[in-house]
Amino acid sequence: MKILSKLCLLLLPLFVIGCTTQQSQNSPSTTKSSEVPVSDTTITAKVKSQFISEDLFTSKDIASMTIHVETINRVVYLTGTADNKTQIHHAIAIANKVSGVRNVVSKVRIKH
């Protein structure tokens, strides 16, 4: 059941990315590698889908279900909780690799 819910969460951002493609062409922000605009919604969806993908298909330790993502003006804000510092570092690294991200601000706390 856990894998099924993560798989659904992986597919949802991909759907959002497809729906925001037209909108992102009119957005003022641009990607790191080209002049093609990327919307904050698209960045959030890509970051979250990368979290879930890493959690499902790699051995990396990441808290994909408890770290929340919000993007404002291409700055990704991570909030929520993680089990350890490694999960937080992985989340920051993944978010930084997403095209269009200007900066990542983490306010993720370690669970007690």
Which pLDDT belongs to residue 105?
98
Which pLDDT belongs to residue 31?
44
What does the pLDDT look like over 23-82, one tens digit per residue?
444 445 444 544 456 799 999 999 999 999 988 887 778 888 999 999 999 999 999 999
Which residue is associated with the tokens 């990441």? 62
| CA 28, chain centre distance (Å) | 20
Is residue 1 over pLDDT 90?
A: no
Q: How far apart are CA 18 and CA 64, in angstroms?
A: 21
Q: Which residue has the higher pLDDT, 4 or 71?
A: 71
Which pLDDT belongs to residue 30?
46
